[in-house]
Amino acid sequence: MWVGEAAMQKSILTLRQAGYDSISDLPRIQQRYREKALVVITPAMRICATSNGEQRVQVLIPVVQGLSQKQQQLMQQYLEQVDWQGLKLSSAERRQ
């Protein structure tokens, strides 16, 4: 987890320079509710009691010039630990 956080901190400037100013600007995919969840977050990582941990939205780290494949992978793994349902990021639509 700490390696992923360090990768995020190291790469935030690169993402911002590419036009991704916040998590809401990153591309996402969404799984339908009748299908299996993309990720299930353990109870200890859930942000609130109302979250069942089933993540149906996955925030993606895009390929960006200046961002190594290793950094991209570490950041992706880090974001997969986030309780997006608990944070109410339930839509696959990017902020406009």
Helix H or strand E encompassing 55: strand 54-55
Q: What is the pLDDT of residues 42-84, one digit of tens each?
A: 777 777 777 787 777 788 999 999 999 999 999 998 888 887 7
Kind of pairing, strands 57-59 and 54-55? unpaired
The sign of the torsion formed by the CA atoms of 52, 6, 4, 59 equals positive
Give pTM, 2 decimals. 0.73
Q: Residue 37 pLDDT more than 50? A: yes
Beta bridge partners of 57: 30
Six-digit token string for 70: 């290793």
Point out the least confidently predicted range of 14-23, 41-50, 70-79, 85-94: 85-94
